[in-house]
A and B are shown apart, each in its own frame.
Chain A
Amino acid sequence: MSQARAVEAETSGLDALSLQQRMELQFEIEQFLYAEAAMIDGRAYRAWLDLWTEDCSYWMPIRRTVTLSDIDREFTKRGDMSFYDDDKQALAMRVAKMESGSSWSEDPPSRTRHIVDNVRITGVNGVETTVEVAFILYRSRLNTEESMWVGRRVDTLRRVDGVLKLCGREIYLDQTLIRATNMSTLF
């Protein structure tokens, strides 16, 4: 989906909520996302993994530099190639890799900082809430290597037994050519 169309997309399901309910939901979700970011930056990967539902999807399409006339092809689509196309099992493998003691891209570990902002609830549908955020992920590695990824995220959260869980994440980077040796960190 192109960025332009995503911005045009109307919010849904929010009209049924009172302002008070929306503010409470906004606060709850912001605090959840900040805590989630702190888990990654604090290297609490197991705890982070527990935030995800068993049927979750974690996806980062490939973005291309295209002209306005080709803008519908800016991002690859589901089922085409991507940088991440993970289910819970794949996320668990990434965590297990980092914990293995042989993951050279993360040992010595990267130092990351996730800045999550512009948190905007875009849809409420039963137990699921869709949230769009802008993010900056800064990574410092070894002594001199620095990477910064900036982008838009579409997160889907689901209330399971009264507790918020992540069940979907789409990551739309603002870079096309990835200017980094690797992406061994979690977004």
Chain B
Amino acid sequence: MDLVQEPGGAPSKSEIRSYFDPAEGTLDRRVFADQEIYDLEMRNIFARAWNFMCHESQIPNPGDYFINYIGEDQVIVVRDRKGEVQVLLNTCRHRGNALCRAEQGNAKSFVCSYHGWNYDLNGDLIGVPGMTAYYRKDFDKSQWGLARAAQVDHLHGFYFATLDPDTPPLPDYLGEVGRIGLGLLAANGPVEIVDGIQKNVIDCNWKIAVDNLFDWYHVQYSHASAGMAGFMDIAAILHPKHQMVMFGDYGHAISGPVITPERQAEIDAMTDDERLAIAAAGMLKDPSKPVVPPRLSAARELLGPTGVRCMGHPNIFPNLWISTNGTQLSLRLPRGPFATEIWWFTVLPKALPEEVKKKQIAFSAHLFGPAGMLEQDDGENWSQSTRASRGVKARSYRHHMAMGLGQDEVLTDATGTSRVETTISEHAQRWLYTNWMNWLTADDWAELKANHPALPKGRV
């Protein structure tokens, strides 16, 4: 293997292009275990992509901040005195110490606990102890403000940031799939985050946690016990014959159940009050009803004719899962090849009746998170899959990811989306790893923009 590696241990481009074989649907297990691949992911994916930061409702007032990550770079997401959201690297320009050691809160300014350098909420360096006595005024504060994300933008109040000035504007990056993904959360009006982000760390590679969100094959077996315990009707959430995979530029995708056109026509004929009544009656217990409560009539315009039928799981590349079941967002934050932090944000429409809110929050608390009826079992599977990527012999066997390969025709609609409507498949996982290879082998955004895989057409 040394022969195909570039100096410094980074795998060569041709080596990277062998990791996933789209024609065979097989994946090299080294992608879950190699430090060199992980380091490249940090540089070529996380430092270039738009990364989800937080929702505006988490930081409503000047000085409110929330700590998040762009790859291994810890950032402060803060509302400054002018009301603008800033994304600042959480590291003092003097000796690198973290400025914020709390994970959220409110600050008047950011004072380093090491030597007392003081930064304004917009990152400007405004105070340096000993400026006269020790530095003897030989120091230009204006040159030593906090490092900032290159771009910050939001959609429906969901803030994203990128470290790369060449990253396309957020709307271009998200495309139709990202727009539908975030739109699913905003489809019933302006939203807010329920206080409390569930956070735990799983001994797995981040990509296993990401590709699993597209995987509706595991639900019936991994999560069988949740059905047996009476938590949910697994058959009701699966809709195995009515699945949709939607492909987006740069690796975004949506995978999972789709509302049939017939059922959508029934929903379209309902008043908003009738739709709310169904939501209030509770979900997941009646197998004849779709798992996601009917969206309000305004959703059709926001999501488009195909998006409004979506009950699946969008992923905004690289690591933001939008879970329409519990109306939640989940970040899968890499912590080395063998560890991933899972963060769950619960999102609710502000105008939702209190009773419905209560039900949704209780349901979200029981669904995912480390004690969730579903996610308890996921962590164990992912960590064992990751562990098995370390064995010398085991890693010589590629993962099989070929379900449905070559069996489906791509459909399009007037909005330009590219999708298949089919049974349970692994189309989205293949799209993810195809794009992942492209990100790793691109030298910069110019190359990514020019050469990223075209949306599938014809047979996939």
Contacts and interface: CB of A to CB of B under 8 A. Distances in A.
Nearest to A60: B371
Contacts of B101: 65, 67
A81 B195 contact: yes
Given A82-B365, A102-B228, A183 B370 contact: yes
A84 to B, nearest CB: 6
A152 interface: no
B435 interface: no
A176 B199 contact: yes
B103 interface: yes
Interface stretch (A35-43, A92-100, A117-125, A161-169): A92-100
Interface stretch (A2-10, A24-32, A47-55, A72-80): A72-80
B369 interface: yes
Contacts of A79: 358, 361
Nearest to A187: B371
A103 B377 contact: yes
B377 A83 contact: no
B228 A96 contact: yes
A179 B373 CA distance: 18
A18 interface: no
Q: Find the residue from B201, B230, B346, B380 having the highest chain A CB count within 10 A.
A: B380
Nearest to B341: A177
Contacts of B344: 81
Contact of A83 (B358, B361, B370, B381): B370
Q: Find the residue from A73, A90, A93 having the highest chain B CB count within 10 A.
A: A93
A60 to B, nearest CB: 8
Q: Size range of the interface on A?
A: 35 or more
Interface string A52-74: 00000000111011110110010
Interface in B198-218: 198-203
A128 interface: no
A90 B366 contact: yes
Given A65-B101, A65-B102, A177-B341, A105 B226 contact: no
A134 B334 CA distance: 33
Nearest to B328: A81
Contact of B224 (A102, A105, A180): A102
A85 B229 contact: no
B383 interface: yes
Contacts of B361: 79-81, 85
A104 interface: yes
Interface in B241-294: none
A178 B195 contact: no
Contacts of B221: 102
A73 B64 CA distance: 13
Contacts of A90: 366
